[in-house]
Amino acid sequence: MDLTTLLQAVVTGVLTAGIYALVAIGLTLIFGVVRIVNFAQGEFVMLGMYASYALWKVLGLDPYLSLLVTMPLLFVVGVLVQRWLFQPILHAPDLAQIFMTVGLSILLMNAALFFFTADFRSVKTPYAEAALRGWGLVVPLPRLYAFVGAIVLAGLLTVFLGKTDVGKALRAVAQDREMAMLLGINPWRMYMLAVGLGAALAGAAGSLIVPFFYVFPTVGVVFGLIAFVVVILGTLGSIQGALLAALVVGVAESLGTLFAGADLGLVVVFVILVVSLVVRPSGLMSRA
């Protein structure tokens, strides 16, 4: 095993980590504000992918441009999901919340299967094969763009949460709902905003990876699971945690694939999950 192969694995891992971070941030935002664990987050990614695919197929729209459509679209989906599905069960036991989102996940996956069939689809872009090469390393452009896009979106979200009034209101609700209400903030609107944003980020992740990832109904499952590992490792509710944890998971998966084989890369991720749950259940960013 030479250094270049190892470095290549690390580089690939870092690039993938960007996407994992984006999906995970959406998930952690939903949990942080609404306190619901969204098992359908991966399916939001899948929806974004199909939306971008459809736009490309019908209108020839470049996937990165389609972000302008898929993000608002998924935002609306998120808002509706919160309003009609999550809101009535906010005070129901854990079991109800878990299975509601599991049911949603099954519904969405199979809706995709029904409408689009199980065929693997792909989007062909002119830059699909382009790559930066140097020092024996290959950085495929689509992956690089996806990484950059993810970081940019994460950055925008952080600015939004930190500097805008609405963003601060969102954080207020996440920290202390009653207090936020006393300050005149409408928590129901904030919940819808949170789920809308969470879904939009997942959808964006989908659009960003469509140039180099096959689109099929169950593609979201893996992203959902990995996002969970990232969120738990990075502490539920923490965005910086999600970024850091995504890096760990992305690189670990990549190295795992390198050393243990392609089909065991995910096992490494689950090992990380288990270790993290056993050693530090509240995550890297917790104060325990």
Kindly state whether residue 10 participates in binding another protein, applying the rule CB under 8 A.
no
Q: Is 263 exposed, middle or buried (0-12, 13-18, 19+ CB in 10 A)?
A: exposed
259 or 270, CB closer to another protein?
Answer: 270
Q: What are 91's two structure tokens?
A: 């005070």
What minimum distance in Å lies between the beta carbon of 17 and another protein?
A: 19
| Closest CA relative to residue 12, chosen from 257, 242, 207, 222 | 257
List 80, 106, 151, 181, residue binding another protein (CB under 8 A): 106
- CA gyration radius, the chain: 19
What minimum distance in Å lies between the beta carbon of 68 and another protein?
A: 29
72 or 103, CB closer to another protein?
Answer: 103
Kindly state whether residue 90 participates in binding another protein, applying the rule CB under 8 A.
no
- For the window 213-242, what string marks contact with another protein as x by the rule CB under 8 A? ----x---x---x--xx--x----------
Kindly state whether residue 192 participates in binding another protein, applying the rule CB under 8 A.
no
Kindly state whether residue 139 participates in binding another protein, applying the rule CB under 8 A.
no
Q: What are 196's two structure tokens?
A: 């809308």
Residues within window 194-213 making contact with another protein, judged by CB under 8 A: none
Residues contacting 208, CB < 8 A, separation 6+ = 19, 22, 63, 64, 67, 145, 146, 149, 150
Kindly state whether residue 245 participates in binding another protein, applying the rule CB under 8 A.
no
Q: Report how far residue 205's alpha carbon sits from residue 258's, in angstroms, rounded to the nearest whole number.
A: 24
Tracing tokens 């382009």 back to the chain, one arrives at 130
List 1, 2, 3, 94, residue binding another protein (CB under 8 A): 94
Residues within window 37-56 making contact with another protein, judged by CB under 8 A: 37
Are the C-beta atoms of residues 29 and 197 closer than 8 Å to each other? Answer: yes
List 85, 90, 128, 137, residue binding another protein (CB under 8 A): 85
Per the document, the length of the chain is: 288
Kindly state whether residue 151 participates in binding another protein, applying the rule CB under 8 A.
no
140 or 283, CB closer to another protein?
Answer: 283
What minimum distance in Å lies between the beta carbon of 26 and another protein?
A: 16
| Closest CA relative to residue 280, chosen from 256, 245, 246, 254 | 245
58 or 262, CB closer to another protein?
Answer: 262
Kindly state whether residue 178 participates in binding another protein, applying the rule CB under 8 A.
no
Using the contact rule CB under 8 A, the part of the chain among 46-54, 68-76, 143-151, 266-274 near another protein is 266-274
Using the contact rule CB under 8 A, the part of the chain among 4-12, 148-156, 182-190, 268-276 near another protein is 268-276
Strand pairing partners for 137? 134
- What percentage of the chain's residues is helix, strand, coil (to nearest 5)? 75, 5, 20
Are the C-beta atoms of residues 70 and 44 closer than 8 Å to each other? Answer: no
Tracing tokens 């689809």 back to the chain, one arrives at 121
φ, ψ for residue 284 (rounded to 5)?
A: -65, -30
Strand pairing partners for 140? 131
Strand pairing partners for 121? 215
What residue ranges bind another protein (CB under 8 A)? Answer: 37, 85, 88-89, 92-100, 102-115, 117-118, 217, 221, 225, 228-229, 232, 261, 263-264, 266-267, 270-271, 273-274, 277-278, 281, 287
